[in-house]
Structure 1
Amino acid sequence: MKFEGQNFAAVSTPSDHVLESRLLALKSYGRHSYASLTDAQGNYLQVAGGGVTCLVERFDVPTSTRLRAFHDKPSPVFPDGTVLAFGAGELRLKSDEWFHASAVVEIFLCFKHGRSYPGTVHWRPAPKT
């Protein structure tokens, strides 16, 4: 596994603690606003934003498919089409695509350890960018 992010050194085989601390330090502004975790086959999980404004996507190598995470509780604060601005640009999200950083940590740990994602996390094809 390789953990990379905006303005921090890449870490091969990151500990759970390193993943958690760096993911919780992400912000949708400033020096640290996105990160990714890639396995040996090239599948990856990526996050943009931070705090209560996180977007999670994954890429599946065998199907060449990029998927976006969503959940069952749409945000009343961020309606469909709200823009997430972060260090790599801007993306429009649906109201059910906003995640809290603590949920992102759990999703990343599931990916790292090959566990099933939480039952509250679902995946759909990511929009073409």
Structure 2
Amino acid sequence: MKLEIEGKPVIAAPTPVQVARGLKSLRSYGKSSYASLTDDAGNYVQVAGGGVSCMIERFECDAQRWRAFHDKPSPVRPDGTILVFRAGNVPMRSDEWFMADQVVEVFLAFLSDMPYPPFVHWRLAPGF
């Protein structure tokens, strides 16, 4: 397993503490606005943004990529709101915005090979 955080050295075999600390340091406007956690088979979870403006995706080696969503659409971020971060601009749906603490839970589930938290659901990512 390896943790990659934009602008920082790769961490091989990260601990849960390293994952949580790294994800909580992300900011869409800062030097680190993207992170991924990849297993030995090449499957991964990734996040863009930071703080209260995060997007989560997962990829499995069968070439399927999913975008995370939840049951509580944002009343202040309608469908089509753009997540702006250092790697680009991504149009989002109102139910795809996550907070950093939720991202940590998703990444730790992936790290531990456990089921994802019940608040997260998955749909095919745009373009797939």
Q: Same fold judged by TM-score > 0.5?
A: yes
Q: Alignment RMSD, CA only?
A: 0.9
Note the 1:1-129 alignment, pairs <5 A. Answer: 1-61=1-61, 63-128=62-127
Q: Structure 1: 5+ residue runs without aligned partners?
A: none
CA distance in 2, matches of 1:114, 1:71: 21
CA distance in 2, matches of 1:84, 1:107: 19
Secondary structure of 1:59's match?
strand
In structure 1, give the amino acid aligned to 2:107: F
Secondary structure of 1:8's match?
coil
In structure 2, give the amino acid aligned to 1:73: K
CA distance in 2, matches of 1:53, 1:111: 21
What is the CA distance between 1:68 and its match in structure 2?
Answer: 0.3
Secondary structure of 2:101's match?
helix
Output one character per residue of 1:82-115: Cα deviation in whole Å (capped at 9) or x when no partner.
Answer: 0000011000000000000000000000000010
Output one character per residue of 1:4-56: Cα deviation in whole Å (capped at 9) or x when no partner.
Answer: 01101000000111100110010011201000000000001000000000000
TM-score, structure 2 normalization: 0.98
In structure 2, give the amino acid aligned to 1:53: S
What is the CA distance between 1:72 and its match in structure 2?
Answer: 0.3
Alignment length (residue pairs): 128
What is the CA distance between 1:120 and its match in structure 2?
Answer: 1.1
CA distance in 2, matches of 1:48, 1:29: 11
Q: Structure 2: 5+ residue runs without aligned partners?
A: none
In structure 2, give the amino acid aligned to 1:68: R
